[in-house]
Amino acid sequence: MISEIPIKNREEDVFERNNFACQVAEHLILSVKSPSLILAIEGKWGEGKTSAINLIKGKIKEISSDAAIIDFNPWLIGSLESVIEGFLVQLATSINQIFNTDVASKAAGRVLSFAKFLSPIKLIPGVEPWGTLVEKTITAVGESVKSAVDMAELDLLARKVAVQKAITELGKPIIVIIDDIDRLPPEEIRIVIQTVKAIGDFDGVSYLLAYEPEPIIKSLAYNDIYDGRRYLEKIIQAAYPLPRIGYWHLKSFLKFHLKSLLATLKLELSGTDKEILNEALDTTAIIRSLSSPRDVIRLINRLRFTANNTREEVNFADTLAFETLELKYPFITEVIRRQPEIFLKESIIEGDYITQDHLDDISDRDNQGDEPPLLKELLSKQTNSETKNIRSILGFIFPSILGGWGATSHEEATFNNRICTKECLLKLL
């Protein structure tokens, strides 16, 4: 099986996102007195945000070798109350480890002192619309200790200024990266955004957030009380959509993994089978149905099992097309599994597969030369692009549903183990 491992460097950048990474990296590297900056890269699940982050990290190191790159992983923190403290502890620890100087140790100590102060009273500076100052003294602190606290020590601003002074003395750019924020529960999403904006806004420190926009916007809307999108725009100075992966890049990515899969399974395709595979890749909507590199990896992992089980019995290109439908349009393959005869224009005598209704349906199609009514009904509920993609793939593996066999005869289909013949279809199912 292929693991969904993000790329590590530009040599692995098959989608040509290096220029994008360079531009983002240049913006993230601040001078020590530059105001804090929050940038974001936005993309859907599986489109390669983490890979883009790794490219950006590499470019940062190329441009500024002494920059500190800090990864903050809020989903590893056990509770909502610990997010702020966890962030500051991570910041302090990373500063100390990366720079490893007396100045760095001093800065780390100031940050830890700030974290210790925030932890017991859960002080959260106001960030509209839901920032509050909640002064809850933890039960572990005795009453006598509470009364002895010097109120001067509870000066948030003074402590934050001390942290800022120590960070400035470091004289090095600090970049904090927070990936996959959209995986967090809504409450933690709000706390992370709030922490970055109100607590971590130190001069010389920049932030790169990575997320799918909709879950973030929904969380910031606070059950539709606020306009989450507008609020996010107030927090993020610039949000960059992940560069789109073009058709040809995705096709090349799929072909590379198909070649690797065939070698791994030791499957030798005949000249005719290679032509059929090229036809599937060049003329059908298989590529257009895949929306991300993750889709390709998932398809290859499915195909690894199915192609191995049907080797030399079912045409590889048909297996690829069927698994694409299974991955992206499972409601179609469910019907194929349940009622295969309506896609073949011939009856199947096998157990309970055939019914009189199905035979009548086949007869109606013979008279009308049209696609199955059940398929029409399913497609009527899809978008126009989805309908085109499904028809394209179905027309490749079941040419009879489009009213004819075209250039492929039934005899050729049988010889080439195409699933438009009932024997091969049943082997696949």
Q: Are 69 and 177 in contact (CB under 8 A)?
A: yes
- Per-residue confidence (pLDDT) for residue 123, from 0 to 100: 40
- Per-residue confidence (pLDDT) for residue 380, from 0 to 100: 87
pLDDT value at 373 more than 60: yes
* Domain residue ranges in the chain: 10-241, 247-428
pLDDT value at 110 more than 60: yes
Band (306; pLDDT cuts 50, 70, 90) = very high
Over range 357-368, report the average pLDDT.
50
At 157-216, the pLDDT tens digits run: 888 899 999 999 999 999 999 999 998 988 889 889 988 998 899 999 999 999 999 999
End-to-end CA distance of the chain: 22
Q: What is the mean pLDDT of the chain?
A: 83
| This prediction's pTM | 0.81
Q: Of 43, 58, 49, 164, nearest to 114 (Cα)?
A: 164
Band (370; pLDDT cuts 50, 70, 90) = low
Q: Are 15 and 48 in contact (CB under 8 A)?
A: yes
Band (118; pLDDT cuts 50, 70, 90) = confident
Band (55; pLDDT cuts 50, 70, 90) = very high
Q: Of 114, 93, 113, nearest to 105 (Cα)?
A: 93
- Per-residue confidence (pLDDT) for residue 226, from 0 to 100: 80
Separation between Cα atoms, residue 170 and residue 104, nearest integer Å: 6
How would you write the chain as a 3-class SS string? Answer: CCCCCCCCCHHHCCCCCHHHHHHHHHHHCCCCCCCCEEEEEECCCCCCHHHHHHHHHHHHHHHCCCCEEEECCHHHCCCHHHHHHHHHHHHHHHHHHHHCCHHHHHHHHHHHHHHHHHHHHCECCCCCCCCCECCCCCCCCCHHHHHHCCHHHHCHHHHHHHHHHHHHHHCCCEEEEECCHHHCCHHHHHHHHHHHHHHCCCCCEEEEEEECHHHHHHHHCCCCCCCHHHHHHHHCCEEEECCCCCHHHHHHHHHHHHHHHHHHHCCCCCHHHHHHHHHHHHHCCHHHHCCCHHHHHHHHHHHHHHHHHCCCCCCHHHHHHHHHHHHHCHHHHHHHHHCCHHHHCCCCCCCCCCCHHHHHHHHHHHHHCCCCHHHHHHHCCCCHHHHHHHHHHHHHHCHHHHCCCCCCCHHHHHHCCCCCCHHHHHHHC
Look up residue 392 and give its two tokens: 């394209």
Over range 136-144, report the average pLDDT.
37
At 98-107, the pLDDT tens digits run: 998 999 999 9
Q: Are 209 and 182 in contact (CB under 8 A)?
A: no
Over range 289-316, report the average pLDDT.
94
- Bridge-based pairing state of the strands 238-241 and 37-42: parallel
pLDDT value at 261 more than 90: yes
pLDDT value at 92 more than 80: yes
Q: In this structure, how many other beta carbons lie within 10 angstroms of the beta carbon of residue 217?
A: 19
Give me the percent of the chain exceeding a pLDDT of 90. 52
Task: Say whether the peptide bond before residue 213 is cis (omega within 30 degrees of 0).
Answer: no
Separation between Cα atoms, residue 387 and residue 375, nearest integer Å: 10
At 190-202, the pLDDT tens digits run: 889 988 998 899 9
Separation between Cα atoms, residue 393 and residue 59, nearest integer Å: 41
- Per-residue confidence (pLDDT) for residue 271, from 0 to 100: 94
- Per-residue confidence (pLDDT) for residue 222, from 0 to 100: 78
Homologous superfamily of 10-241: P-loop containing nucleotide triphosphate hydrolases (3.40.50.300)
CB burial of residue 69 (10 Å; 0-12, 13-18, 19+): buried
Q: Are 82 and 120 in contact (CB under 8 A)?
A: no
At 24-34, the pLDDT tens digits run: 999 999 999 99
Give me the percent of the chain exceeding a pLDDT of 70. 82
Q: Of 428, 398, 429, 391, nearest to 413 (Cα)?
A: 398
Select the more confidently predicted residue: 189 or 375. Answer: 189
Separation between Cα atoms, residue 388 and residue 402, nearest integer Å: 13
- Residue 286: what are its φ and ψ, rounded to 5°? -60, -50
Separation between Cα atoms, residue 346 and residue 342, nearest integer Å: 7
